[in-house]
Structure formats: structure tokens, C-alpha cells
Structure 1
Amino acid sequence: MLIPPGFNTVTPYFFVEGADRFIEFLVHGLGGIEIGRHMNGDRIANAQVRLGTSTVMVSEASNGFPAMPASYYLYVENADESMQRAIAAGGTKIMDVANMPYQDRQGGIKDQFGNLWWL
């Protein structure tokens, strides 16, 4: 299988209820760029959002593919600023930004869709 430009060997694929609102959170809260959207009627069948050097996919949840939150580690330039932007876009802080013993500076948020993000 050909890996498209901007995608990685492992690519997160989000199934969420309210895919349009989730994409807004990825763009405004996490600094993503929407690069594609394919519709099936009024339902988002597949959208692609670039977050830094990675691309994620998003679809509206359905009976066959129900919503399922997960946890993600997102590398950012400035964890403090990224945390504030994510909170302003509707995220809830679950861990203050702090220096970690493994040389990262990170904090955690939970988005409105149940996903955990370590910034």
C-alpha cells in the first residue's frame, strides 16, 4: 500500500459524534490544518487534518463504527501556549504543564469527545 504524502505508517483515525465540531477543535485548539473532506450526503465520511508533520483522519461515528476515544501524544513547540489554546477551544485540563523527568515539558487535556491529549 502506498503511504500518501503527509501520512505516517501508523495514522490515527477518529470516529466521533460531531465530526465537524471535532475538526474545528483540531484546527483551532491544536493548530491543525484541514487538508481534505469527503462527504456521504451530510455526513463526514472521511476528513484529513494535518497536525505538525502527521495527518489524522476523522469520520462521523455510526452504528458500524461507533465513537471511541483514545489517548494521543502531540509534540508542539510550546506546551504552555498549546495548552491555553486547547482550553480556549473547549478542552479541559487534566494535568498542568510541567517539566518531566524524561526531558519533555508537557501537560494534558481532555477534549469534548473524550480523547486525552498530552501536549
Structure 2
Amino acid sequence: MQTKPTFAPELIIPNGVTDVSFYTSVFGATELRRFSNDDGSIHVVELSINGTLFHLHEETSNFSAVRPDKYDSTTVIIGLFVDDVHAVVDRAINAGAEMLSPVQDYDYGYRQGRIKDPFGHHWMIEKAI
């Protein structure tokens, strides 16, 4: 049986983080697994949004990735398709995200709004219209 290719982003978070409820409360993510450090902080958390996996991983010196807030920039914008773009963006802002681009309809057929989550990751919340 051949495995269907799927993306599972791994988002880097600062050391010492214990609360990632932003993702469960804003995006409806379900926490599947958590690997904690001795102090109770997160080493890795596996989350799912409607069956799509992603991971949060603490920044470590033996990893070649850094968290985006370290340099106030990002090389990736994560697209998340939802039914109600306005509602998800509003929840994100109320939960501590920063508005990068307000929700609007574009002539190429998408309703989109872009936010930066509390850990600096950029999300394009969108829907085909």
C-alpha cells in the first residue's frame, strides 16, 4: 500500500512554554500527544485540525530551525482553510494574535485574513468564495 504524501508542519516555539491553548481554542485543534521536559514545559506537542497534523517543537541548539519571533520574521505562511474566516480571525485576535492583514475578498476568488500567532507564526486564514 502506497502512502499518500501529506504535509505536517513543525512549528518552533520558545523554550519553557507550557500553554498552547491558542491552537485549541482558536483553530479547534486537538492535542494528540505531548512530550514534556522535566520542568513540565513542552518539548513536542502533536496537534490535529480536522485530521491534519502539525507539531510544536521547542527551540533547541541541535535543531537548524528557529522560532519566527526570534528575528521578527518568517519564511512560511501557513494557510488554514475554514468555513468562517471572520470568526476565526476574530477569535485569534481575542486570544492574543496580531492582525497582519484584515479579512477581505480578493478577485482571485479567496476571502483571506493574515494573523501572527503568539509565538510569531504567520497564518493565512482563508476560504474559497
Give the structure 2 partner of residue 112 of structure 1: 118
- Number of equivalences: 114
Whole-Å separation in 2 of the counterparts to 1:111 and 1:85: 11
After superposition, the CA RMSD in angstroms is 2.2
TM-score by length of 1: 0.82
Distance 1:19 1:74, change over 3 A: farther
Question: What does 1:6-85 align with in structure 2 at a 5 Å threshold?
Answer: 9-17=6-14, 18-21=16-19, 23-41=20-38, 42-65=40-63, 67-69=66-68, 70-85=76-91
- Give 1:53 deviation, angstroms: 3.3
- Give 1:110 deviation, angstroms: 0.9
Question: Percentage identity across aligned positions?
Answer: 27
**1:100 matched to 2:106:** yes
TM-score by length of 2: 0.76
Do the aligned partners of 2:11 and 2:121 also contact (CA within 8 Å) in 1?
no
Do the aligned partners of 2:18 and 2:41 also contact (CA within 8 Å) in 1?
no
Q: Spell out, residue by residue over 1:33-86, the C-alpha distance to the aligned partner (whole angstroms, 9 max, x if none).
A: 111112242342321111233110112212223533332111111000000000
Whole-Å separation in 2 of the counterparts to 1:82 and 1:38: 28
Do the aligned partners of 2:10 and 2:55 also contact (CA within 8 Å) in 1?
yes
AA aligned opposite 1:103: G
Whole-Å separation in 2 of the counterparts to 1:78 and 1:16: 27
Do the aligned partners of 1:19 and 1:59 also contact (CA within 8 Å) in 2?
no
Q: Spell out, residue by residue over 1:77-111, the C-alpha distance to the aligned partner (whole angstroms, 9 max, x if none).
A: 10000000001110011111111222111101111
Q: What are structure 1's unaligned runs of at least 5 residues?
A: none
